[in-house]
Amino acid sequence: MRRGLRRHGLLMGNIFQPHAELAQVTELAADAAGKTADVSVWGVISDIVPTSVLTSLVNETVLQVIFFALVFGLCLSYMKISDDERIRTISTTMYNIFDCLSEIMMRVVRGIMQYAPIGVAVLICEVFAKNGAKVAGALVTVTVACFVGYAIHIVLAYGGLLKIYRIKIGTFFKEARTPFITAFVTRSSNATLPTTMTAAENLGVDKEVYAFSLPLGATINMDGTAIYQGVCAFFLVMSCFGRGLTFGEMGMIVLLATLASIGTAGVPGAGAIMLAMVMQGINMPIAEGTILAGAYAMILGINAILDMGRTALNVVGDLTCTCCVAKHTKFLREDSVLK
């Protein structure tokens, strides 16, 4: 299903074809005419296992780093519940170290992000100065494409799932409204977690289910982010190279975004950082001074608006899955309003 979501975003990209007519593109387009990024899905899959993690880190080979982190994290989580007390103790110590490192990094990133608006404003100024106000229309198309994608996803995917599991759609959305609005305003799945939990409780889901599924969902389930990445990747390639995405690149984006979103934090703006990683994965790194960096800055300029919609979608997705799992595993309370 998660792969379907990425295709969903790419579908919106193909329908709306969002792109900006950027200066320099004509020269670049001549260069890039018919030339596609040198990627094949099988090539990437076979390249995903790192021979040396340090080399992957130094070379910024994103996919290999994510792959290693997933394997490392999975092993650590198994060790934490081992029967052997020694293994449990050392793995908990290791976990605490990583937890601490993660908190430190969060603070560093938050500190840097305070100054990000200045950098984004300067980059956008440069893009508008070079290309004129006409590029604003492209940003409107990106926004519309994303929000239409979000809306279709709510109706088809969530509505469909609720219907399959015979959960009353009206009752569900009445309760989901508060976490939806909270997520829209805070732009953070994590910050919305207490509200989402209350909604799950009110919907009659057993705490045993939602206490596990909602934090997990807030960490790894990012439907809205996936749709956003599909649309924006399309925008970046079309604006900078004057062409759409090839099937190979679309397959790559599906794969990369699926893996990368697992590692995305449920905090404001995380999806935009992920987008840069996805672009790097299809051999189109967003390097300083390139036209791609200018187009990416344009996306960053409207990131807050796009983030509101995608976070609301992410949160409603977590709640939908939680209710469906609870219904399937019979963890809905007798007095559940869903019955």
Binding site for ligand ASP (CB under 6 A): 187-189, 222, 225, 264, 266-271, 307, 310-311, 314
State the minimum distance, in angstroms, from the CB of residue 276 to ligand ASP: 12
Nearer to ligand ASP, 232 or 291 (CB): 232
Integer Rg of the chain from CA: 21
Residue 3 contacts by C-beta under 8 Å, 6 or more apart in sequence? 254, 255, 258
Residue closest to ligand ASP when measured from CB atoms: 271
How many angstroms separate the CA atoms of 173 and 190, rounded?
A: 20
State the minimum distance, in angstroms, from the CB of residue 232 to ligand ASP: 11
State the minimum distance, in angstroms, from the CB of residue 161 to ligand ASP: 19
State the minimum distance, in angstroms, from the CB of residue 50 to ligand ASP: 26
Pick from 224, 195, 182: which is nearest to 9 by CA?
224
Nearer to ligand ASP, 131 or 229 (CB): 229
Nearer to ligand ASP, 268 or 294 (CB): 268
**3-class SS of residue 118:** helix
Written as six digits, the tokens of 17 are 């074809």
Nearer to ligand ASP, 229 or 336 (CB): 229
Nearer to ligand ASP, 56 or 188 (CB): 188
* Phi, psi dihedrals of residue 221, rounded to the nearest 5°: -100, 105
DSSP code for 266: S
How many angstroms separate the CA atoms of 92 and 79, rounded?
A: 8
State the minimum distance, in angstroms, from the CB of residue 268 to ligand ASP: 5
